[in-house]
Amino acid sequence: MRVVAPTLLSYEEGGHYVPHYDYLDVPPNPMDYDSWMRHLGNRMATLFLILQRAAEGGGTIFPYLSLTVQPEPGDAMLWFNMNVDGSRDDGTLHGGCPIRAGNKLAMTLWIREKGQELRVKCPRFPNQMRFDLTSLSLG
């Protein structure tokens, strides 16, 4: 799995994170990509782990989904930042609600798109949905 080193996030009282996308908007010409994008691709998915919950506030809001999540310590959220065609999934706009009391600690791990391709060809037609599980490899 291709990932970037985890990022530790610490929010104190009054702290918040404005709504944003983890998907990176990049120049249309691959020659203009930075080395991260060239070698690892975009942020395909985000794993967000809660280490410490704020005493009050601090939820994670997804405005386009009309959803606010208030996880407990040890909970993890996983979402995919990209559509199947590689474009940004607009529903993944998210932010950190203001901390009203206490501190929030979280860890973010971005899973990059390159190296995530299936190792077994998928069938093109529904009647070909069977395949040999022994042919799958982890390497």
* Predicted confidence (pLDDT) per residue in 99-115, tens digit: 999 999 999 999 888 87
* φ, ψ dihedrals at 32, nearest 5°: -95, 0
CB 42 within 8 A of CB 24: yes
Greater pLDDT, 29 or 128: 29
What's this model's pTM, rounded to 2 decimal places? 0.77
Of 101, 108, 99, 95, residue with least CA distance to 51: 108
The reported pLDDT for the residue numbered 137 is 47
CB 89 within 8 A of CB 62: no
Superfamily of domain 7-116: q2cbj1_9rhob like domain (2.60.120.620)
Q: Where are the domains of the chain?
A: 7-116
The reported pLDDT for the residue numbered 100 is 97
Of 70, 75, 47, 46, residue with least CA distance to 59: 70
Percent of the chain with pLDDT strictly greater than 90: 55
**Interval 51-94: pLDDT, tens:** 999 999 999 999 999 999 999 999 999 999 998 888 899 999 99
